[in-house]
Structure 1
Amino acid sequence: MDENSAKSEGEEKVQESSNITLRPIALSDVDDLMVWATDDRVTKFCLWETYTSKEQAVEYIKNQAIPHPWLRAVCIRNHAIGSITVTPCSGYGSCRAELGYVLAHKHWGKGIATRAVKMVVSMIFKEWPHLKRLQAVVHVENKGSQRVLEKAGFQREGVLRSYELLKGKAVDMVMFSILGNNSSVG
């Protein structure tokens, strides 16, 4: 690759990551969702199985994504290339929520997931004033996702042994968190 090609590829990455938007997911996103939901590379570290039919995607959008308390499509030119969620943690007096995200394979390594996470962090603590902590758990082997969180300002807290069941097997996860500006330790 020559210098000009490398420069234009770098500029393209910056342009793509700066042009992303977050919006509520809709049934009209089903074909875009199928791009990542049917890709084993994408679903490898997801708790859900790779989709095998459009009906699964429609059911997911209708019954889980639309009613979710905070799920947004990650979009480029209004096409959904992934999704990002913030899910409140249960329990009396809970002041924390869990972040999750997924992105189509062809958009990996371009700073898009990092940008989306930063966008969520900049808005979620304002939208949910009770929130003090946003956390994410990542499979120990998912180094790319760990880098996303670190670049977005999350702190690595440690490894949680046999923490999640992933495709029927108990796996170790790495816990990351970021605290809101209005958090106090005491």
Structure 2
Amino acid sequence: MEDQMSKMTLHGFEISDIDDIMVWETGDLVLQFTGREAPTSREIEFAILRDHIIPHPWYMAICLNSRVIGSISVMQGSGEARCRGELGYVLASHYWGQGLATCAVKMVISNIFEEIPELERLEALVDVQNVRSQRVLERVGFVKDGLLRKYLVFRGQSKDMLMYSFLSSDVLNLWSTFDL
């Protein structure tokens, strides 16, 4: 497992990543928590990649041995909410349980507060049924802020979500528990 993590990198997405994206974005296990429908066509996914993902400064590909196996992003708030950002990540189900998502989240946290100095808080919303993702956040040092009842509609059903947060002041605790 540690050998795999040493081969993991984050980089900005490229057009050539489209085939890898199509593989992991169509997996049923992944789709159950992403809030997206399965991609309907390569052309639509290509347009989303070109127009929205590649231009975004903090939408990164999670790569293992130079192959895209997932994504991680930080969407910074605007106006009065510019002090916070929402963390999101997805990993191909074949790689679940190997510590790769945890490593990717720690890699982002180690840089994000320096790269976006006005950011003081990272938030992550997690489906109450997504126990694996809850564990990822808790291992990294995110704090469970609470339950948001009937927070969003997901495939026609109201869903309860958990709100987690990590503050810029929490980074000092991160360094004592993890070596990058």
Name the counterpart of 1:29: 17
Structure with bigger gyration radius: 1
**Among 167, 173, 176, the residue aligned to 1:179:** 167
DSSP-derived class of the 1:162 partner: strand
Alignment of 1:15-164 (within 5 A): 15-92=3-80, 94-164=82-152
- Aligned-residue offset at 1:31: 0.7
- Structure 1 gaps of 5+ residues are 1-12
Q: Give the Cα separation in 2 of the matches to 1:167 and 1:69.
A: 29
Moved more, 33-42 or 87-96: 87-96
Which structure shows the higher helix fraction? 2
Question: In the comparison of the two structures, how many residue pairs are matched?
Answer: 171
Q: Give the Cα separation in 1 of the matches to 2:153 and 2:98.
A: 29
Q: Give the Cα separation in 1 of the matches to 2:9 and 2:139.
A: 19
User: Kindly tell me: are residues 69 and 167 of structure 1, through their superposed partners in 2, closer, same or farther at Cα, counting changes over 3 Å?
Assistant: farther
| Contact 1:88 1:96 survives alignment (8 Å) | yes
Q: Give the Cα separation in 2 of the matches to 1:95 and 1:176.
A: 15
Root-mean-square deviation (CA), in Å?
1.5
| Contact 1:87 1:98 survives alignment (8 Å) | yes
- Aligned-residue offset at 1:179: 0.4
Name the counterpart of 2:153: 165
| Contact 1:18 1:115 survives alignment (8 Å) | no
Structure 1: 4+ residue segments shifted above 3 A: none
| Contact 1:20 1:76 survives alignment (8 Å) | yes
User: Kindly tell me: are residues 141 and 92 of structure 1, through their superposed partners in 2, closer, same or farther at Cα, counting changes over 3 Å?
Assistant: same
2:101 counterpart letter in structure 1:
A
- Aligned-residue offset at 1:93: 5.1
Q: Percent identity?
A: 47
Question: For each residue in 1:113-169, what CA deviation from the matched residue of structure 2 results, as whole angstroms up to 9, or x when unmatched?
Answer: 000000000000000000000010000000000001011111111110111221232
User: Kindly tell me: are residues 129 and 63 of structure 1, through their superposed partners in 2, closer, same or farther at Cα, counting changes over 3 Å?
Assistant: same
- Structure 2 gaps of 5+ residues are 172-180
